Every structure is written in structure tokens, then in C-alpha cells.
Amino acid sequence: MTRLVPDDLITLPAGIEAYDRDLLEKTGANLEQIALGAAAGAGFNLTNLHPGKYKVAVIPVTSGLGTIDGFAKAVSVVAGYLGFQVYITGAADVGGLIEAYKRDADVMMLADDQVFAAINLKSGRVVDNATATAAGYAAALNFMAGSLKGREVLLIGAGQVGSRAAEALTVLGANLIVFDQNKAAATSLVEAIITRTPSPVSLRVADDSADALQSASIIFDASPGRGFISGKQVNEKTLVAAPGIPLGLNSDAEKKVSARLIHDPLQIGVATMLYQALADLRSPG
């Protein structure tokens, strides 16, 4: 995932209610329902999870390029909005870890430049943002499409989020076309999914993104590219799930697709991280 900048986050706290209304309007599900759907889809058992019972500590981390203004605040606003008892620790780094333990947090959320994790201090479960974002966006797209079963989805990007999204989309019954500038990455992802998936699903690698975009009616943009999808490559019916920043749609395409575009810097990923971190794994079998 591309590193966020303060401008990506500054409006999130004040806009969280309007964001959730928009999400409900577009997909028929709100943030909580999408996170629940994503956790259930990933095999977690969430029967009667009451967010108000859980304490979430958000810990600023100063390593690497340092803290991002507004990051801890944005994460805490999403957790609070979902009903969790949430606080940002007064200290960063080790001091913050100590505070979370001392205040008996159930979940810690913290991110350095490589990983953003939710750690359940009681069960030991760790959920990373890429996994949760992939599951959350696949669930949101599934709601927006009514169902992805048997539907063709163009997945752009076979990296951290894309490879996990391929898994989640296949579980939802989508027929995937995978494009990555690095064709070998797309090919190995398709092969990995085919060997792992029992039921025969149709997956294939796209050679050229322009051709693939021309015929795609459902797009999952998990690429770090900005503005490479033009207005001509989408139409009034195209559904787009585009996790994280930057957005692959250029401004024409974004205008055309806007009512059917799921795109945010953190919200769906953070919500899904919390639900997956607090869920019990469904007993296998």
C-alpha cells in the first residue's frame, strides 16, 4: 500500500458519518456490515460481537519515516465510530505498547512504514491491513454487485492487496482476469489460486490492461498507479473497488463511475482489521 500523507486523512474524522451513508447508498451495506461480511467470508466466527465491550489502543510509531499527521486520529475515529472503546496512547513506540498493556487493551493497532497491524492481546491473533483491506473491499464489491458469483472481475495488481483480493474474490465465486505490469506476478498468482481452490473457477491472466479494461464491467483496482484508467475505459454500469491511495481512475473515469466506486484511504481496512482481530476462527471442518 502506498504511504498515506496528512491530506489523505484530514477530512476523515469529520466525514465519517457521511462516508458511511455514501457506502450504504452505493453497496446496500454500511461499514459494520461490510466488515462483518469480510470477517465471515474469511472464515471467522463473529456471533454477537459487541464492539462496546472491547478496548482498542492505537499506538503511534515513529520508526522509519516517522508518524503521519492524522493517521492515529483517523484510525481511532473509525474504531470509535464502530462503537469500540478506543484511545490513542500518550506515548509512541515502546511507551505506547506499555500503556496499552497497562490499560488492559484488547486490541493494539500500530503501523510502521512496512506493516499496519491489529494485534489481539488476549488471543494473540494478528491481522494485517493488506489482508483485511482485500477482504473488506471484496465484501463491499460483492454487496454492490448483489453477488459476484459467476461474475467476471478484472483484478489489476497482483501485489500485497491484489494477491489477497484474488483469494477473497474467488471464494465469492468471481471469475477473475488478473493483470499486472509484471506478467510473471500475475501468472504465479493465477497458478497459486488454481492449485488452492477446490471448485473449478475460471481465472486467466490479461496480457494488456487496455483490452482487459475495455471489456471489464467489474474492476478491482489494487494497483499503486494513479489515473491510468480513462473515462473511455469505463461506462455508466462499471463497478469499481479501489482500495487505498492513489486512485487508478482519472478524473473523467471517476466522474462517470462515482455512484458505483468504492474508494477510501483507511476506513474499510481498519473496520475489517478490528472485526477479524476480535473474531474466533470458525472451528475447521
In the complex, the residues that contact ligand 2YC under the rule CB under 6 A are 1, 3-4, 60-61, 67-68, 71-72, 111-113, 116, 129, 244, 266
Closest to ligand 2YC by CB, 139 or 177: 139
Query: Smallest distance from the beta carbon of 60 to ligand 2YC, in angstroms?
Result: 4
Report the C-alpha gap between 275 and 48 in whole angstroms. Answer: 11
Where helices occur in 197-265 by DSSP H, the ranges are 209-215, 251-257
Query: Smallest distance from the beta carbon of 121 to ligand 2YC, in angstroms?
Result: 18
Closest to ligand 2YC by CB, 162 or 244: 244
Closest CA to 131 of 31, 269, 29, 37: 269
Closest CA to 7 of 224, 220, 246: 246
Cell match 453497496: residue?
A: 27
The H-or-E segment that residue 191 falls in is: helix 183-196
Measured at the CA of 59, the angle between CA 56 and CA 62, to 5 degrees, comes to 170
Query: Smallest distance from the beta carbon of 92 to ligand 2YC, in angstroms?
Result: 7
Closest to ligand 2YC by CB, 68 or 206: 68
Query: Smallest distance from the beta carbon of 111 to ligand 2YC, in angstroms?
Result: 4
Closest to ligand 2YC by CB, 37 or 60: 60
Where helices occur in 10-112 by DSSP H, the ranges are 12-27, 31-41, 71-81, 93-102
Report the C-alpha gap between 274 and 132 in whole angstroms. Answer: 9
Per the structure block, which three cell numbers stand in for 136?
Answer: 473488506
Query: Smallest distance from the beta carbon of 247 to ligand 2YC, in angstroms?
Result: 13
3 state DSSP class of 28: coil
Closest to ligand 2YC by CB, 117 or 201: 117
Closest to ligand 2YC by CB, 136 or 151: 136
Query: Smallest distance from the beta carbon of 42 to ligand 2YC, in angstroms?
Result: 18
